[in-house]
Amino acid sequence: MSKRVSIVKALAEVFKTIDGTSPYTTNLTNNSYPKLKFWDEVNDFPAVYVHPTSETRDYLPGGFAWGLLGVCVKVYVKSEEESQEQLEAISLIWLGMSVLLCFHSPI
């Protein structure tokens, strides 16, 4: 398993901990997956899909390199009246999570 896949799987597992108990107001009922899905493919709501995007490297002196991985988080909610409120509740949770992923790579 690559580091990119490991990072995405770890983020999906973090989202699975959102179960509606304090401090969370939304229950994802374990609907968090480390893959790409589009709206027409989703059957269970709310759902979070996480997948990696581009990766860049910043090489520094002394053989140190920063690896920066972009991660796309897609959140799907479906409701007749309150879909915007559900989406805002989930996005506030995401803003509360601060994730810094870095690794040291010798040249």
Per-residue pLDDT tens listing for the chain (107 residues): 788 888 899 889 888 888 877 777 778 888 899 998 888 888 888 888 998 888 888 899 998 988 888 888 888 877 766 767 766 666 655 544 444 333 333 33
Nearest to 34, CA basis, from 47, 51, 52: 51
Residue 83: its pLDDT value, please? 66
CA distance 78 to 87: 9
Residue 101: its pLDDT value, please? 39
Residue 94: its pLDDT value, please? 54
**Per-domain boundaries in the chain:** 3-96
Residue 59: its pLDDT value, please? 92
CA distance 5 to 35: 10
At 4, is the secondary structure helix, strand, or coil? helix
Residue 61: its pLDDT value, please? 93
